[in-house]
Amino acid sequence: MNVLRPLLFFALVLAGALSSRSVRADNEVGPGQKYYLVYDLRNDWLTYSSRYQNYVPFSKGIHEAETSASLLVDLLKNRPYTLLIQSRAESYLFIEGALQKRIAPGTWLELSLDSLYRNYRKEELLLTLYGSPGVDDKNVLVGHLKKENVAALPVSTSPLINIRPKFPTPFGDFSVLVFLFFLALNALTYTISPNTYRRLINPADYFNRDDRSEIHKFNKPYSRPVLLFVIQLSLIVSYLLLALANYDVNLFSAGTLLSERDQLSEILLDFLKLFGATFLLFYLKYVYMSLVGGMLNLDPIVDLHFLKALQSSYFFYSLLGLLVFTLSLHEPGWFESMRPFLLLPFVAFYLLRFFSLYFVTNSRASLMNLHLFSYLCVIEIIPLIIGVKFAL
């Protein structure tokens, strides 16, 4: 009996060690067993039912012949973790209906759920694997990277995370509505004052220095045609800010005013916020111009400067808005190649505008006008420098 007790104790210790090792091994998943298992999605498979026009739970007895199976992954709850995908047969990964990556047989695909959340801005994401029939050969897990592997993990950028979703978004519908409204405002401005409208949109009139035909003598900044012109310009600038926000560019911290923009109503509300702020800023700048012009005894050119600045901005932002509108509808990935050069067109435009405004507001009598040069530096160049500094 005394001999059996040590043997029994040794057997229990050995069994406990083996069971502990087995449990630990079962909890280690992914390539090189470098992840701890957080959740196994084997029981969450879905398949699309044409009868119900929706996704239904995948049933092995009914849907065994289906070559595609889907999962709804909770990005918000699992944001700190990694999605691990493996298939014994060649498969293709679709995210929200768009083809993203080919998965070679037996290899693991590792996706950061935090990156997916920031890229798609959704709490749940629909993933579909297309390949062999059934789901027995497919393995989708949520894993937590072991601490000892964090430092050794190589930093790599997967092309998957850089691909934007290709399904229709409300922003396309919103863009069409904005430009229809923009055209309607142009028609209304022309109806109210055809002569003023023709002069405001005429590039030749911008460089006209004839004192007898100066547009500011007949139209003040608060007259109806000019007011409608400012509304049009505010509309285009607000649209461009929203378009940049749609590509995750938070210009001048405009994103702090915006929502997630998943619905058309949310986009319209964000647009109204930006439109109100932009319209107010245009007239605040006019007040600023009046104050600086008064201090430098340049009151007579303030109205002319304001209207000429509106004209040049209208030419630039209308063309830019039309270009962005066209590319957004037909080339959704155009922005990624242009991202490093985002500020260059704006800096070039405002520098050219500075010199052209000096030319059109200066009298013919003197080429050098230090008062006017100082005035334009305060109004045009200093805001440009501040803008470049804090734009992004």
| Listed range (204-213, 282-291, 329-338, 358-367) with the worst mean pLDDT | 329-338
Query: What does the pLDDT average to over 107-121?
Result: 85
Is residue 10 pLDDT above 60, yes or no?
Answer: no
Question: How much is the pLDDT for 163?
Answer: 44
Is residue 155 pLDDT above 60, yes or no?
Answer: no
Question: How much is the pLDDT for 252?
Answer: 66
Compute how many other C-beta atoms are within 10 angstroms of the C-beta atom of residue 126: 16
- pLDDT confidence band for 184 (50 / 70 / 90): very high
Is residue 321 pLDDT above 50, yes or no?
Answer: yes
| Listed range (18-32, 92-106, 108-122) with the worst mean pLDDT | 18-32
Whole-angstrom distance, CA of residue 181 vs CA of residue 198: 19
| Listed range (63-67, 90-94, 202-206, 252-256) with the worst mean pLDDT | 252-256
Is residue 391 pLDDT above 70, yes or no?
Answer: no
Is residue 349 pLDDT above 90, yes or no?
Answer: yes
More confident residue, 30 or 165: 30
- pLDDT confidence band for 256 (50 / 70 / 90): low
Question: How much is the pLDDT for 278?
Answer: 93
Query: What does the pLDDT average to over 275-287?
Result: 94
| Listed range (40-44, 151-155, 323-327) with the worst mean pLDDT | 151-155
pLDDT tens profile 50-96: 787 888 888 877 888 888 899 999 988 888 899 999 988 888 999 88
Question: How much is the pLDDT for 341?
Answer: 79
What value does the mean pLDDT of the chain take? 81
Cite the DSSP H helix spans in 1-110.
Answer: 4-27
Query: What does the pLDDT average to over 164-188?
Result: 80
More confident residue, 355 or 245: 355
Helix (H/G/I), strand (E/B), else coil: 112: strand
Percent of residues, the chain, with pLDDT higher than 90 = 24
DSSP string, 118-171: HHH--SEEEEEEESSSSSTTEEEEEEEE-HHHHTTSPP---TTTTPPP-S--HH
Q: Which domains does the chain have, with CATH numbers?
A: 31-150 (2.60.120), 170-390 (no CATH)
| Listed range (66-70, 261-265, 301-305, 330-334) with the worst mean pLDDT | 330-334
Q: b vs e for 302-327, b when ≥16 Cβ sit within 10 Å of the residue's Cβ?
A: bbbbbbbbbbbbbbbbbebbeebbee
pLDDT tens profile 13-26: 444 544 444 444 45
* Cβ proximity of 72 and 23 under 8 Å: no
Cite the DSSP H helix spans in the chain.
Answer: 4-27, 113-120, 147-150, 170-192, 194-200, 203-206, 224-246, 264-295, 299-330, 334-338, 344-361, 370-376, 382-390
Is residue 320 pLDDT above 90, yes or no?
Answer: yes
Verdict on whether the full-model pTM lies above 0.75 = no
